[in-house]
Amino acid sequence: MVVVVISWIYIAAICLSIGIAVNKALSKLIPVPGYKHIGYTGYIVTGLVTLTVYAETFSIFYKVGAVCHAIMLAVAIVTAFFNRDEIKAIVTSVIRKLRGNRLILFAAVIVAGAFFTSRGTFHTDTGIYHAQAIRLIEEYGVLKGLGNLQLHYAYNSSYLPLCALFTLSFILPFALHTMTGFLMVLFTIYAIDGLFDFTRHGKHGGDMARVAILIYAFGNMTGLQSPATDYSTMFMVLYIFCGWITYAEEVAVNSFDRREDIAYYGYLSVLAIFVVSMKLSAAMVVLLATLPFIALVKKKMWKELTFFLLIGFLSFLPYLVRNVILSGWLFYPVSAIDLFNFDWKIPAEYMKIDSDQIKVWGRCLFDVNKVDLSVSQWIGPWWENKQHYEEMLCYSQIVAIPLLILGVVGRIREKTTNPALPAFYMAILVNLVMWFMTAPFIRYGLAFMLLLPLCVMGDALDVIARKKNIVLAFLAALIAINFFSWIDRYFTDDLVFVKHYITDDYYLVPVEFPKSDMSTMDMNGQTIYIAGIDEVNSYHVYPGSCYGMMAERTELRGDSFEDGFKAK
């Protein structure tokens, strides 16, 4: 736990320094939000995004190891020196707030986060490919056609290069895996900090978005030791949407009239574009960017529009390049965009099977031959496989719709509708529809399933209070009741985790990535490691594949791993 907390301080310090420098540099080109609007969390997030893009780009040319980390550290130190006054002011501001209940709660979050991050059983996908993918990024960067060796490697995520940047395996006797825990602590403290001002807020949609962050963190505590792309993506999505609705509730009805409005919504729009690189299932989050785009066009702010688009594109470009190198496809496993014909390209028939498996597993059909079943045919098996607490979460989505409609109608009648609020709910609804129609694993769409009912409930609170509306109060109460089951389930899980792992000796250093017995196979004179029936693709030996069948149908493009892989 001690090493975990030290790593978080180190990550936060570097991200804060880089974030302030990037924000200051961008202010010369576009409107950027200041500390008043984004706070220390926003600067750290800016630093995280910048370092992610840096690590992705570096991996295209070289491995993400000591050299990559040293360059980052040198830049962070230099920027910290030149921006020392800003950093001092921010740190002083944070320290001043650390009093009473805030201090107690923040300390509790850090201790709990460190406990769960330092021990436990890793996420299944971490054993299958997360840990091995991070190791390969550390040792080789990005390898041509790596997805042929195991199709999961083609599930490109910008989060994995970021994790590789901070494993510190080049200097420590073990690899750190503390980034997911860091995100949980960062965004949980952000949410709690905002909820301290609950009584000062005229509207509470933003407050309930903060509650959504807390529920998500609470529900995924047992997975914080894993560098899982689901968790990181959902935390970032929750932060973006929380920031959006909070700001929309605070500003005047005619949003985007001020330069600071464009700065803040533009900042969130860039994050919305970037988050797609973390996981393709979050693709529709980019809909949030349409409103700032329209506002800039209407105001004929062509320079600002050009730079916002350019920054968003550059934050996404390394992801696209890595996609092509890893799989030969621009978006794997999407066959609709077929632009390249490299020799390392994953064959279309392999990709189709992989894509179909994702869909049928999400629909609880577990048979690729059933991929073309209609919604009416697969919704039954899907629903039958849901636990009670998952059913209650689904019920809350249904209850949220009439509550949303009544709320929107009420705002229109009162002429208090901020266009950013309908855009907020439309983006959530579209994401929910896309999630449901593609691969409806609850964990893939959990952020949106939390945000919709909680935010419409929060948005209705002031109307309920002012007009004593019984219908709205009843619907809001139904949503709250539906969430009791979800919270109870994960409260129990967290307690069981504590009971099971509290005696483990990880109070100084965290648990290592799991080791497993792996067999070997020869590939063009080189050794490939194959996982056993436990499907744990060890971080400790490489390159590895969980599936001998995939490795058997693959060969090296040249004489070494650096040349990449291709299908036989």
In angstroms, the CA 149 to CA 315 distance is: 28
Which residues lie closer than 8 Å to 287 by C-beta, 6 or more apart? 272, 423, 426, 427, 430, 431
If we measure between CA atoms, which residue out of 483, 494, 493 comes closest to residue 391?
483
Q: What is the model's pLDDT at position 406?
A: 83
Report residue 142: phi and psi, to 5°.
-110, 130
Segment 165-169 shows an average pLDDT of 97
Check if the beta carbon of residue 263 is closer than 8 Å to that of residue 33.
Answer: yes
In angstroms, the CA 166 to CA 312 distance is: 24
Check if the beta carbon of residue 323 is closer than 8 Å to that of residue 330.
Answer: yes
**119 CB neighbour count, 10 Å cutoff:** 22
Per-domain residue ranges for the chain? Answer: 2-327, 348-379, 380-501
Segment 245-272 shows an average pLDDT of 85
Report cis status (omega within 30 of 0) of the bond before 333.
yes
User: For the segment 268-321, what is each residue's pLDDT rounded down to a tens digit?
Assistant: 999 999 999 999 999 999 999 999 999 899 999 999 999 999 999 999 999 999
Q: Which residue has the tokens 């688009």?
A: 309
**264 CB neighbour count, 10 Å cutoff:** 29
Which residues lie closer than 8 Å to 41 by C-beta, 6 or more apart? 186, 187, 189, 190, 239
If we measure between CA atoms, which residue out of 323, 270, 262, 342 comes closest to residue 295?
262
Dihedral class, residue 532 (left if φ above 0, else alpha if ψ from -120 to 50, else beta): beta
* pTM summary value: 0.96
Q: What is the model's pLDDT at position 42?
A: 97
Whether 408 has a pLDDT exceeding 90, the answer reads no
Query: What is the pLDDT confidence band of residue 252, given thresholds at 50, 70 and 90?
Result: low
Q: What is the model's pLDDT at position 199?
A: 87
User: For the segment 22-77, what is each residue's pLDDT rounded down to a tens digit?
Assistant: 999 999 999 999 998 999 999 999 999 999 999 999 999 999 999 999 999 999 99
